[in-house]
Homo-oligomer: A and B are copies of this chain.
Amino acid sequence: MSLLFKHLRVHHVFGANTDVGKTILTTALVRASARTTNVFYLKPVSTGALDDADDRHVQQYAGSSRVQTECLFRYDEPVSPHLAAKLSERPGTPSDDTLATSIADYIRRSAATGTLAHMYVETAGGVHSPTLSGTTQADAYRPLFLPTILIGDTNLGGISTTIAAYEALTLRGYIIDAVLLFRDAYYRNSEYLTPYFAEKGVWVGALDKPPPKVANVDENFTLTEKYYDRLVRQTKDDINSGSEGSTSITDAVRHLDERHATRLAELDSMPRRTLDTVWWPFVQHGLITREADVNVIDSAHSDFFSVYKSPPHSAKPHSTRTTSLTSSSAPLPPSKAKSLLTPQYDSSASWWTQTFGHAHTPLTLAAARAAGRYGHVMFPQATHLPALRLSEAMVNGPGKGWASRAFITDNGSTGMEVGIKMALRAYTKRVGEKMAKDEVRRNEQTEHKERLGVLGLTGSYHGDTIGAMDASPASGVYTCEWHDAKGIWLEPPTVSFRDGEVFISIPPAMHPNHDKVVSVRADNVQNIYDVEGRIGSSLERLYRGYVEGVLRGLEERRKKGEDVPTLATLVIEPLVMGAGGMKFVDPLFQRVMVDVVRSGDASLGLVPSSSAQEDDWRGLPVIYDEVFVGLYRLGLESTGPLLGAYPDIAVNAKILTGGLVPLAVTLAREGIFRAFWGEGKETALLHGHSYSAHAVGCEVAGETLREIQKLKGSEAWKEAKGRWVEGLEGKEAEGKGVWSFWDAGFVKAVSSIDVVEEVMALGCVLAIKIKDDAAGMCFT
């Protein structure tokens, strides 16, 4: 909802506290601005009796026709707006959204006049004074993301309230263009604050105080009027000769104009500079060479980016000179009165990381809290609360019932590398202990260096580091010179809605007599995800026969001495393969894969299980890559309960930190952990990054898990579930039932659209495949 216009410079005016001279200084800004441009003076919310004098001071100034004042919501009681709204007998307290939308509308209407103008949006009380709904202003006004003027506090204690208010605005990302406050010879707050903020790149204006109030109203008005006149008309010279250390309000206006022009110029320059310096991930730069193709994200809030679009016909960057704003000229054509910032829906949730929307204050505070308490502290052999609590939350959350250990790394790809290292070691150690001597001898005879590989699914992808790539099939564009796909990958059956009905599509490989995909209609999407109920079905037998057949065939080739990989781990993305094209895999097939490898059937090349104490995994270590699907992206905390089979190793990332900073957790069973237990460093899991278990990431992740619990209890969550199936509440803990935030009826309807081939939705994910076109769309 953030707006930006070249011809209309808008500033929010926040106060360090109530009664710090916000109205006086805003009036001074209005009057100074009105010397050269039109001015809009907006008080979105006002409480208490109107001070007519204030308004007269605004209007009095020469050129008052240039000044338009407005108040959107007015209440009589002189208390905080949230109380005033409560005390008022008017029904329907305006929501934050109504408030922000009303301001945005006013700004748009003002911009539509097309004349050069300044606008000041004056808040009430301090930065965190609650507005009508009860939300504090710093949060409630954040969607508008207007550049800000902070009115500092001149009183005793004012240094503290000013800096604290500045930090509250900083925590919400506000652009703070200036701090303005009165000069006071005794407390000298401005003397302290000027260098303090200069260090932070923030300009401070110290202005003469207004005259003391006198009893006679008219006299008071005249005195104050003189004060404004002096403030507005005084020049640098006046100041130098007269009031030492003061700033002219005209300087402040000029400074704000410069900041506005600089911001426009910087935004305009960003596409070119980006094309000249940045090397994007996943982007073919040869295809993106026009400035217009660069998405300039000025800020983000909730589900939207605020994106800058160059003004039309603006061949060259905005001048950083301020003449464009400080001199009046003819009105602009309406086409130029369009906001240069527009909201853009973040349809991939910034690659499936966002959980509560962008710039979610509780996560910012969590990051700040950990940064302030620890920075980053080294983790080996150490512990700190954020890492310990996160480890426990993960072991007792997605790891409940199977995992005993949490290993923390930086991202999904490194988390998968750790998972693979765990699985390979656990497998190798068991083989070393269990393999019959003749087996070893036979291996030596064949003279093939043992190549450990993964059993996986075609279309799977586990990250971009080379070890993670090697656990993914060689097909596809995601490859590099050192990529050496190690393993075998099976084409899975998939689930989707077509023409309003739900189907399972079975790939040709499973049907020796068919050469194309066979579709099986299901009565109901819930039946498909009732994995336990499908055990024993004909499809289950088909899947089992297929998987066993592939493994048996491999083992037979191995026996013949062919150079085939030795399968050492099963790696799957449960339910949905993300990077591989949003394929919704039939969960029964994945369950069967797990069941088959856990049979430990030697004729399938599987190593029988040990009876030792640490033997809590069988056959092959099973890795669930839940980087994309985990932590409720699909409506489920983890996929084990639904599949009716828990992994031995699982990786979580993306949602883990709510969409703020990178972090991954690899969970493992105790038996996997024990495979690294020993007396020498060489048998330890020698994997660690400089910032392993960084406190900021761990604290943000901990906060995310707590916030998700709150969301789970929300009405919206329950309603969304209810729309998919009655009485689902609480059932998913037992692995029963699937649902989506996307309405089931809507999903079916979309699947019936002519150009749509198929659709599927689970949790936050909606995938639409368009007919006769490789392209598809995904939304979150």
Contact = CB atoms under 8 A, between A and B. Distances in A.
Nearest to A374: B300
A283 B15 CA distance: 52
Contacts of A480: 421, 424-425, 686-687
Interface in A154-186: 155-157, 159-165, 167-168, 170-174, 186
Contact of A470 (B360, B364, B482): B482
Given A383-B294, A690-B654, A679 B284 contact: yes
A494 interface: no
A653 interface: yes
B125 A156 contact: yes
Contacts of A693: 281
A7 interface: no
Contact of A477 (B173, B409, B686): B686
B17 A691 contact: no
Interface in A660-688: 660-662, 666, 668, 673, 676-688
Nearest to A360: B375
A505 B145 CA distance: 61
Given A170-B368, A464-B689, A127 B160 contact: yes
Contacts of A286: 677-679, 683
A431 to B, nearest CB: 11
Given A414-B414, A690-B654, A173 B284 contact: no
B83 A414 contact: no
Interface string A617-643: 000000000010000000000000000
9 tightest A-B CB contacts, nearest first: A126-B160, A173-B373, A281-B688, A466-B467, A18-B157, A173-B372, A358-B375, A424-B481, A128-B160
Given A358-B376, A363-B371, A420-B466, 5 more contacts: A126-B161, A300-B375, A463-B689, A661-B697, A662-B691
Interface stretch (A267-275, A601-609, A751-759): A267-275
Interface in A306-365: 346, 348, 350-354, 357-361, 363-365
Interface string A261-285: 0000010001101101111111111
A16 B533 CA distance: 60
Contact of A388 (B15, B270, B405, B676): B270
Given A17-B161, A285-B673, A371-B364, A412 B690 contact: yes
Contacts of A287: 679, 681
What is the count of identical protomers in the complex?
2
Contacts of A466: 417, 420, 465-467, 470
30 contacts: A167-B167, A167-B365, A174-B372, A266-B385, A274-B391, A277-B392, A277-B404, A278-B406, A279-B668, A280-B379, A281-B408, A284-B679, A285-B677, A285-B684, A286-B679, A296-B384, A300-B375, A346-B377, A352-B690, A354-B376, A358-B376, A363-B375, A368-B371, A375-B659, A412-B690, A413-B465, A424-B481, A425-B481, A467-B482, A662-B697
A380 B278 CA distance: 10
Given A159-B130, A378-B351, A424-B481, A271 B383 contact: yes
A45 to B, nearest CB: 14
A696 interface: yes
Contacts of A187: 79-80, 83
A281 B380 contact: yes
A350 B696 CA distance: 14
A637 to B, nearest CB: 18
Given A174-B372, A424-B482, A481-B452, A662 B678 contact: no
A422 to B, nearest CB: 9
Given A157-B129, A160-B17, A413-B465, A383 B270 contact: yes
B381 A192 contact: no
A716 to B, nearest CB: 18
Contacts of A279: 405-407, 666, 668, 673, 685
Contacts of A250: none
Most B C-beta atoms less than 10 A away, residue of A353, A361, A568, A666: A353
Interface string A397-420: 000000011111111111001001
Most B C-beta atoms less than 10 A away, residue of A15, A305, A486: A305
Contacts of A413: 414, 465, 689
A217 interface: no
A495 interface: no
A731 to B, nearest CB: 28
Nearest to A486: B482
A268 to B, nearest CB: 12
Contacts of A697: 661-662
A369 interface: yes
Contacts of A408: 281
A354 B375 contact: yes
Interface string A477-505: 11111101010000000000000000000
A276 B689 CA distance: 22
B127 A170 contact: no
Contacts of A126: 157, 159-161, 164
Given A161-B161, A353-B690, A661-B661, A684 B284 contact: yes
A288 B690 contact: no
A385 B430 CA distance: 51
Contacts of A17: 17, 157, 160-161
Contacts of A354: 375-376
A377 B157 contact: no
Most B C-beta atoms less than 10 A away, residue of A128, A351, A465: A465
